[in-house]
Amino acid sequence: MDRSSWAERIPAVKSKADLAYESLRSAIARGDLRAGERINMDELARRFGVSKIPIREAVKRLESDGLLVSRVHAGVTVAGVDATEMRGVFLAREVIEALIAELAAERVDERRLAALEEVQGRMREALASGATAEMAELNSRFHRLLAEAAGYRILSDLTEQLLLTIRRYRIAAPLGERNWRSVVDEHDAVMAALHRRDPRGAAEAARAHIGSQAAHEVDEVNEVDEVDASHGTDGPDRVR
């Protein structure tokens, strides 16, 4: 006899604080709320049609996530993402993505392989048509699917957290077409290893992918910024 049969699963119901949290988090991820922008809790309460209590709860969670900061006299503002933080993000991603790719090569099924290929196809189409604005979400989807294929929720959660930081950074420093082309090519190398069911090859391809993007997005940009600072100029336009 199943002694737990009396207990039916309680449907998940999101609280007002959960909904406010998700709405604010999405706005930060999309760039609707940008680094340094002040959060007016009274205005948000009116906009969402709730009291200030769930807004405060949501803000506290976002502060814990590192997405908002609270300072005396400045109030609550959207946190920035600097190059030093991004170095740490890419160092973490290099290790985590290599592990994810290795595990995925061991466990991935044909359904997930097809889903990954579908995203890759859409990335190629977007690149060919010059729709680079779509690339960020497609890239996130690719890495989410890869993390899911690895089979551990903690790896999916870590991937989501790191992807959010990268997307916020790219709002201020967007990737150009040349760098997106590199991303697609590097994804292809990961996919080839997955199809071969080659864990070591997948890990090496993922590590190379993240290392390449770190060089494009952090190291090269910092080198140009240092040169600009030494000459007292804003520097030329550059592909990021």
Q: What is the pTM of this model?
A: 0.74
Per-residue pLDDT, 34: 86
Per-residue pLDDT, 29: 84
Q: Are 235 and 227 in contact (CB under 8 A)?
A: yes
pLDDT tens string 169-196: 887 777 888 899 999 999 999 999 999 9
Distances 105 to 97, 111, 113, 157, 159 between C-alpha atoms, Å: 12, 13, 10, 19, 17
Q: Are 80 and 35 in contact (CB under 8 A)?
A: yes
DSSP state for residue 218 in the 8-state scheme: I
Which regions of the chain are under pLDDT 70? Answer: 1-13, 219-240
Per-residue pLDDT, 203: 98
Q: Closest Cα partner for 47 from 20, 78, 27?
A: 20
User: Within the chain, where are the H helices?
Assistant: 16-30, 41-48, 52-64, 83-107, 110-128, 135-150, 153-172, 177-195, 199-214, 220-231
